[in-house]
Chains A and B, each alone.
Chain A
């Protein structure tokens, strides 16, 4: 109790120190009396956070789960990168998840998570996230917080304007950042202009099981498609993509792709194209891409190579695609909760450009075109412009909305979050970021119903903000309270990898559906055992299969003899527990792979190829019980020429 008191006093002092040191701008709302930042982010021991935040790991290839407002890290979900902690990509069951047309790719650059929606509101069923490097879209199931599906995106490169969902999760959309020859072929890089294509992929999502399938790809001119967001409400049925490098430069892009005064936002009416494709439109193109599915009942993933994709030439579908001139090299492409305003965050522009969906429709209706690009009509800038936020800051990147008529834009160069009003375009507040903020996230910010209580800013640089850890320092996020007129910085917290973007939602949407165990009776793994009586060891040539079980606090069997040098030994291990939070781990000395971390009711497999004669121990790697240290076993490895028969036992020597 005394300690808690001391800590509280400590917090209070820190809070006072912070608020009182706040430069001349400090207002009444910053006084220690009316607010305490520490109090606002304090979630008492045993209490739960109000929001989940799913923050991308960038080059870590993973997705981290945080609580808001505490900024506490709960889980790192392995998505595109192998994870020895959970054996993802190491065990036999999940290796197929990382299969691609290029073979096994155990890493990717995870960028933009987005939570599934129903009727324009977040429904908390799945999170989608894109792999940028070897184009892939993954789906994470929010009952298990595990990656259950990954689909490779063919004809794409630098899968960056992804993975955003439409209002009813009809589609998760993936756009290419780098245009490439489609189909890929041997040609001179210098012939880029006019020949390369930018594929925008619409991946349908089954409303029941979430199964993904590439419905069609739109082959757009060879620009760079940077980010995208869906229309919503009145603009439902449209999708908007920012472009840069409309110059179609293929070298020194930092200069050569920054020459045009205006690039474009591409407005795609996907409903028209969907209709066109449903009626047999588009062309079936031969290709090759992987579709990997993890089955929760077999606890096993399968990878299937698909050979065909439907591609659509946008010039052949009248009324489907238009270009909205937008200054200069816009990054974020953000649609407000009403669906009326489309914000183009021109990262090299002095002003922030906002287009009007209503004006866009009028311009289309009245055919007010300003020429075309490769046959795609360009609308006149003045005809679609709703307004500009004048001189709001330097380097606008991304905007989200609070649902109360305000927008919040990050400025990378001036390192700040700026709050402005939709409709009047006036700046109402600004707060510094430490440092060089990229994207920001308001829970529900990409939906019709944002929960405008907090904004999380994700920074690119931290420098001196934390204790130093050598040349490589932590990445970080910052939490601001946006419930009042003025934003208030509440918290800095470190992140795993580079946080490119995040998705958040009220915890109550997900918490009640979170699985506690896998039911053993529903386990359909090919090598599962349902009880110790089922455990056995079999041999097929030099392949040895161990059907093993684990329960507090022993393996069955735990003594195995008859294994020989040169054998390929499969440990198929089932956790027989049916209690919440009783995983067991297993690892074998010298196995050229990771441990397994097996949840109650689950079966996982690792392979061990013993190279040395001897008696080799294995043990439980997760402190499971009071007798965890006793949870171990031995495998006797005999010479290849030995004729010792397989035998196995548990507890016989007593």
Chain B
């Protein structure tokens, strides 16, 4: 097996780490929470950073009219399926394909990841802005518009008395490494191909 194909094989397998480790983590800090509230986002689940954190986030958020974080969302079915399918494709490519296919898989993964991020953004936006009109506490921005409570996509942000942090976790790293590997596989494969052509000319 060619070196580039081995790299591609690794690339295809790495995203499976998403089934073992969380993708993202949102942490909420406030003076009353010496142990911050936190939520892990897995490819197929939300989970507490510490016991009962999601319940307590929901309890906090109901004051400003935010919906409860759902137990399940359609993405929890779509994302795992997407990862499994792309992994299978990746494996097929690793065994049968050449460097051009590696680039194709790389682009596919980039597009899908971007779509996933956008989907995540849409959910966050809805979560932070689609508020119960009977919310107990109603806040407005200085310009008079309704204040939103959307957690940051990436980074840290002050939301009322909370400081919200949103950062990728180990699962996301596995995915990123997988995508990066496929690009490496492409480069290595391409170099090998050029060398091969050159040798043939000789």
Q: Which residues of A contact B (CB under 8 A)?
A: 517, 551-552, 577-580, 626-627, 654
Contact = CB atoms under 8 A, between A and B. Distances in A.
B56 A579 contact: yes
Contact of A552 (B52, B59, B134, B137): B59
A579 B52 contact: yes
19 contacts: A517-B52, A551-B59, A552-B59, A577-B59, A578-B51, A578-B52, A578-B55, A578-B56, A579-B52, A579-B55, A579-B56, A579-B59, A580-B35, A626-B63, A626-B136, A626-B137, A627-B63, A627-B136, A654-B134
B161 to A, nearest CB: 10
Interface in B50-67: 51-52, 55-56, 59, 63
Contacts of B56: 578-579
Nearest to B55: A578
Nearest to B63: A626
Nearest to B136: A627
Interface residues of B, number: 10
B36 to A, nearest CB: 12
Given A552-B59, A578-B56, 9 more contacts: A551-B59, A577-B59, A578-B51, A578-B52, A579-B52, A579-B56, A626-B136, A626-B137, A654-B134
Contacts, number: 19
Interface in B100-134: 134
Most buried by A among B35, B52, B63: B52
Contacts of A627: 63, 136
A517 B59 CA distance: 16
Contacts of B63: 626-627
Interface in B22-71: 35, 51-52, 55-56, 59, 63
A578 B55 CA distance: 8
A626 B35 CA distance: 20
A551 B35 CA distance: 21
Interface string B133-156: 010110000000000000000000
A638 to B, nearest CB: 32
Nearest to A600: B52
A626 B55 CA distance: 18
A654 B136 CA distance: 14
A-B interface, 9 closest residue pairs, ranked by CB to CB distance from nearest: A578-B52, A579-B56, A552-B59, A578-B55, A627-B136, A579-B52, A626-B63, A551-B59, A578-B56
Contacts of B51: 578
A517 B55 CA distance: 14
B69 to A, nearest CB: 15
A654 B56 CA distance: 25
B83 to A, nearest CB: 32
Contacts of B134: 654
Contacts of A654: 134
A654 B134 CA distance: 10
B111 to A, nearest CB: 41
Contacts of A579: 52, 55-56, 59
Instruction: Name the residue among A551, A578, A654 with the largest chain B CB count within 10 angstroms.
Output: A578
A551 B63 CA distance: 13
Contacts of B137: 626
A599 B63 CA distance: 22
Contacts of B52: 517, 578-579
A360 B1 CA distance: 87
B138 to A, nearest CB: 13
Nearest to B56: A579
A628 to B, nearest CB: 12
A17 B16 CA distance: 71
A362 to B, nearest CB: 59
Which of A517, A577, A580, A627 gathers the greatest number of chain B CB atoms within 10 Å?
Answer: A580
Query: Which residue among B35, B55, B137 has the maximum number of chain A CB atoms within 10 Å of its CB?
Result: B55
Nearest to A552: B59
Contacts of B136: 626-627
B48 to A, nearest CB: 10
A537 to B, nearest CB: 25
Pick from B55, B56, B59, B134 the residue with the most CB of A within 10 Å. Answer: B59
A413 B55 CA distance: 60
Nearest to A578: B52
Contacts of B55: 578-579
B121 to A, nearest CB: 29
A72 B144 CA distance: 48
Nearest to B137: A626
Interface in B146-174: none
Contacts of A551: 59
Contacts of B59: 551-552, 577, 579
Nearest to A46: B34
A517 to B, nearest CB: 8
A626 to B, nearest CB: 7
A613 to B, nearest CB: 34
B64 to A, nearest CB: 11
B133 to A, nearest CB: 12
